Homo-oligomer: A and B are copies of this chain.
Amino acid sequence: MSSDRDAQDLLSRWQRGNVMAADCPSRPVLQHLTSRWGALVMVALATRRHRFAELRRAVGGVSERMLSQTLKELEADGMVLRTAHEVVPPHVDYELTPLGQEAARHLIPLIGWIEGNLGRIPSAGQGAASS
């Protein structure tokens, strides 16, 4: 299976680098993309650009503060582009950058797979059975 080789390649690279465990710069990027709110924001923005208030409605339950912080992290990682429009009334919107679109293409299958297979995951079985 080719994922064995992909895994082996990754592992060798990490072992060569030897910094992976402590301070590989990929770690925070992975965390931002896969955090509760980060993953939801990436999925919402993968459908289309959103204004802040729209995004807050799309990502049910997020506070203004957490949404703002999540967007700042994803913007700093180059995944999200924030555009302030100088119109009346002024507004700001958010969209995925080309880099963010690429990330989403790898993130969405993972999240989709977890969602679609919750019934097979023992620790999540109770919740999944009823939804």
Contacts and interface: CB of A to CB of B under 8 A. Distances in A.
Interface of A: 1, 3-4, 6-11, 13-15, 17-31, 33-34, 36, 39-40, 43-44, 46-48, 58-62, 76-78, 99, 101-115, 117-118, 120-124, 126-128, 131
A117 B102 contact: yes
Helix, strand, loop or mixed for chain A's interface? helix
A8 B76 CA distance: 25
Residue of A7, A44, A60, A120 with most partner-chain B CB within 10 A: A7
Contacts of A23: 127
A24 B18 CA distance: 36
B58 A128 contact: no
